[in-house]
Structures are given as structure tokens and as C-alpha cells.
């Protein structure tokens, strides 16, 4: 029987993905953009963001010199906004440390903000063919099933075991095809539910398939019910403009523009006047909007308000924005959807 890596490479060349936009380049900057976007985000979602982002910031110098707000605006809707802030910081570091020449080796790449060992190895493999192990979520699932590794792949001991397996399996040649093949296999055949084992190139010696345990492996962490938080979203308008508030740097949606908030049980008119000095009248209430973060679930209750005559400049950390301006602003996806629906 041919070796594991040989079968993965052969399968990738025949059945893997070959038409993704970041596969058409050896530019480590462009590959890095793709790999960071692909963290916790599906390929179909990433493709349009990738193209728009590179149109706005075609190289590391363009990204480094951009305002943070412009970077966040291009990222708006992709989620996990810390990734965008890390990318902005990393681009500035590349310009400062390397004269704008984006690194191509994994060891140097791993020193940049937001670039872990798996992402660094993937960039190096695709940019220069450097040999190294990758271990993203898809690869963890493939290896846990194939080798019968028990436990939550995110647990330190289990992850260490998977890293050791991943390093042993990396071939000495055809590194790029192998890395892409492992990602493709996990994304297309070895899916979390209903894996297509009959089409898998390494199914013959897969422990999970042989033992009928594909539903059990990899193990899942015990999920506790998310705590729930409720807030009111104060949607106040003045002559066709909406009042937006910039969120603080720390916490969710850091430095993005959003609607002002009030406690769920507060009087929205009084809360707006007390916190922002804006007088308004209540227009109506909209259906709640649900959104889940990693650590809690949020129920947002939108409240429509109209500013009274005489309201002037926006309060500190706020701005009035016309509907035509919203597309260019860094807004969280639920807020953008609410305001443009």
C-alpha cells in the first residue's frame, strides 16, 4: 500500500481544489491574507473578501500605511475582527523590520502578530515549498480519525499528539500539494458530519472508518450553555442620518462603528439623553436580533428614535452617517444588516 502522503498528493492533483484565487500566486503577502481570512471562515465566504481586500491593499506597504478604520471597513462582516487588527500590525512590522519584503520562511512568519505555527507553515509551503507541518481544524479532524486519536483536539495533550503525527507524515517532496491536499480532504470529504469515506484516498487504513466511529472522532469538548445578555440598540435618526458610536478597543467589535446601546430595561429616550446628550422621541420597536459570540449569546432589541430639532454635532466617539456612507464604514455584520435592510 502506498504511503499516506503519497496517496494525499495523488488525490489532491486529481480531485483537490485548484482554482482558488490565492492558488495562482507565490506572493507570500497574498497567501498570508488568504490564510488569515480562512481561519475559522469557510472558503466560499472568504473569496469575495479576499478580492476586495487586495484591491484596497495590494501589498504590504499599502496595508501598513492604511488607517485602521479603512482596514476594519474592508473586513466588516467577516467576523473575528482581531484578525484584521493583527494583520494591520503585522504589515507595519514587515515594513519596519524587513523593508516591506514579506517573509517566506515559517520561522520568521511565526514572529508576526496573529501568525501561529500552522498558518506560518502553510504560507511557507505555498510561497516557497518549505517543508513543515500544518494543523488547522480540518487537518486535525483527518488525523484524529485516521489514527484514532481520542479526545478533544483543542485540549493541549491531544493537540500535542496530533502535532507529532502531523510532523511525521510531512513528505520530503511535493510539500505544497500535500498541504493543500490535507486541507482539501478535511474540507470536502472528511467533513464533520456525513464524511464521504468511499471517496477518501486514505480510508483503507483509517481507524475511525474501520471501527465505525467517524461520528465519535474527533472527540468534542463539553459545551456549556452560553450565558445570555440583552441590550437595546438605539437607532436614532436626524434628517436621514443615523447616529453611530465607535466601540472601545477592548471587547467584542472593538473600534467598529455600531448603534449606541442601553440596558434592556432602561428608558431609551432617557438613556440617550443621559449618555450622549441627545434628545429624541420614541418612534417604535423592531423585532429582536440574535447573535452568538464565542463566550455569550446576545439578544439585541432595536429601538427607533427620531432626534428632536436643534440636535447639532455628534457627541464624542460618535458620528452622524448618511445611508450612502454606511457601505464604507466598519460596521459589525448584524448592525450593517439591520441598518440596510
Within-domain flag for 182? yes
Within-domain flag for 199? yes
Predicted confidence (pLDDT) per residue in 154-172, tens digit: 999 999 999 999 999 999 9
Do 177 and 242 belong together in one domain? no
Average pLDDT over residues 188-213: 97
Mean residue pLDDT of the chain comes to 95
Do 250 and 201 belong together in one domain? no
Average pLDDT over residues 233-245: 95
Q: How confident is the model at residue 125 (pLDDT cuts 50, 70, 90)?
A: very high
- Nearest-angstrom CA–CA distance, 32 and 103: 10
Do 138 and 63 belong together in one domain? yes
Structural domain including 66 reads: 4-210
- Nearest-angstrom CA–CA distance, 91 and 279: 43
Average pLDDT over residues 168-190: 97
Do 172 and 54 belong together in one domain? yes
Number of domains in the chain: 2
Do 187 and 243 belong together in one domain? no
Residue pair 7/171 in contact (Cβ under 8 Å)? The answer is no
Within-domain flag for 222? no
Average pLDDT over residues 301-328: 87
The answer to which of 37-51, 219-233, 283-297 has the lowest mean pLDDT is 219-233
Average pLDDT over residues 11-39: 97
For the chain, give the percent of residues with pLDDT over 70.
99
We report the CATH number of the domain holding residue 163 as 1.10.340.30
Predicted confidence (pLDDT) per residue in 90-124, tens digit: 999 999 999 999 999 999 999 999 999 999 999 99
We report the CATH number of the domain holding residue 265 as 3.90.79.10
Per-residue model confidence (pLDDT) at position 261: 96
Distance from CA of residue 117 to its chain's centroid?
17
Predicted confidence (pLDDT) per residue in 39-80, tens digit: 989 999 999 999 999 999 999 999 999 999 999 999 999 999
Pull the grid cell for residue 293. 459570540
Residue pair 105/112 in contact (Cβ under 8 Å)? The answer is no
Do 164 and 262 belong together in one domain? no
Within-domain flag for 216? no
- Nearest-angstrom CA–CA distance, 225 and 228: 9
Is the pLDDT at 304 greater than 70? The verdict is yes
Within-domain flag for 223? no
Within-domain flag for 215? no
What is this structure's pTM? 0.90
DSSP assignments along 271-306, one per residue: HHHHHH---EEEEEE---EEEE-SS-EEEEEEEEEE
Do 71 and 172 belong together in one domain? yes
Per-residue model confidence (pLDDT) at position 309: 64
Do 43 and 176 belong together in one domain? yes
Q: How confident is the model at residue 311 (pLDDT cuts 50, 70, 90)?
A: low
Pull the grid cell for residue 151. 479526545
Is the pLDDT at 310 greater than 80? The verdict is no
Better pLDDT: 144 or 311: 144
Do 55 and 186 belong together in one domain? yes
Average pLDDT over residues 171-176: 96
Do 63 and 183 belong together in one domain? yes
For the chain, give the percent of residues with pLDDT over 90.
89
Catalytic residues: 35
Per-residue model confidence (pLDDT) at position 283: 97
Q: How confident is the model at residue 250 (pLDDT cuts 50, 70, 90)?
A: confident
Within-domain flag for 16? yes
- The last residue of one of the domains, among 152, 177, 210, is 210
Q: How many residues does the chain have?
A: 341
Do 166 and 249 belong together in one domain? no
Do 238 and 282 belong together in one domain? yes
Within-domain flag for 24? yes
Is the pLDDT at 215 greater than 50? The verdict is yes
β strands within the chain, DSSP E: 228-238, 241-246, 257-258, 261-263, 280-285, 289-292, 297-307, 318-322
Pull the grid cell for residue 249. 478597543
Per-residue model confidence (pLDDT) at position 336: 95
- The last residue of one of the domains, among 179, 210, 241, is 210
Q: How confident is the model at residue 1 (pLDDT cuts 50, 70, 90)?
A: very low
Per-residue model confidence (pLDDT) at position 225: 85
Residue pair 330/75 in contact (Cβ under 8 Å)? The answer is yes
- Nearest-angstrom CA–CA distance, 329 and 336: 9
First to last CA, the chain: 57
Amino acid at each position: 500500500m502506498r504511503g499516506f502522503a503519497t496517496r494525499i498528493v495523488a488525490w489532491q492533483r486529481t480531485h483537490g481544489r485548484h482554482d482558488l484565487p490565492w492558488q495562482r500566486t507565490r506572493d507570500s503577502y497574498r497567501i498570508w491574507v488568504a490564510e488569515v481570512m480562512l481561519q475559522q471562515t469557510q472558503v466560499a465566504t472568504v473569496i469575495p473578501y479576499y478580492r476586495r481586500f487586495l484591491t484596497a491593499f495590494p501589498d504590504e506597504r499599502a496595508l501598513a500605511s492604511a488607517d485602521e478604520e479603512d482596514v476594519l471597513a474592508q473586513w466588516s462582516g467577516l467576523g473575528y475582527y482581531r484578525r484584521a487588527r493583527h494583520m494591520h500590525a503585522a504589515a507595519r512590522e514587515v515594513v519596519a523590520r524587513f523593508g516591506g519584503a514579506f517573509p517566506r520562511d515559517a520561522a520568521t512568519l511565526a514572529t508576526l502578530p496573529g501568525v501561529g505555527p500552522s498558518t506560518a507553515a502553510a504560507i511557507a509551503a505555498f510561497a516557497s515549498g518549505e517543508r513543515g507541518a500544518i494543523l488547522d481544524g480540518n487537518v486535525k479532524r483527518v488525523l484524529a480519525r485516521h489514527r484514532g486519536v481520542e479526545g478533544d483536539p483543542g485540549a493541549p495533550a491531544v493537540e500535542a499528539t496530533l502535532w507529532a503525527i502531523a510532523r511525521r507524515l510531512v513528505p520530503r517532496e511535493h510539500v505544497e500539494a500535500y498541504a493543500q491536499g490535507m486541507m482539501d480532504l478535511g474540507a470536502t470529504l472528511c467533513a464533520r458530519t456525513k464524511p464521504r469515506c468511499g471517496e477518501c484516498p486514505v480510508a483503507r487504513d483509517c481507524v475511525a472508518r474501520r471501527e465505525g466511529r467517524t461520528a465519535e472522532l474527533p472527540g468534542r469538548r463539553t459545551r456549556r450553555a452560553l450565558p445570555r445578555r440583552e441590550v437595546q440598540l438605539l437607532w436614532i435618526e436626524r434628517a436621514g442620518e443615523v447616529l453611530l458610536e465607535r466601540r472601545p478597543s477592548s471587547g467584542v467589535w472593538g473600534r467598529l462603528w455600531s448603534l449606541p446601546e442601553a440596558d434592556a430595561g432602561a428608558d431609551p429616550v432617557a438613556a440617550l439623553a443621559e449618555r450622549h446628550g441627545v434628545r429624541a422621541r420614541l418612534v417604535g420597536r423592531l423585532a429582536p436580533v440574535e447573535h452568538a459570540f464565542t463566550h455569550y449569546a446576545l439578544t439585541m432589541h432595536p429601538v427607533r428614535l427620531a432626534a428632536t430639532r436643534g440636535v447639532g454635532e455628534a457627541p464624542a466617539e460618535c458620528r452622524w452617517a448618511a445611508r450612502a456612507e454606511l457601505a464604507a464604514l466598519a460596521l459589525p455584520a448584524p448592525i450593517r444588516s439591520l441598518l440596510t435592510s
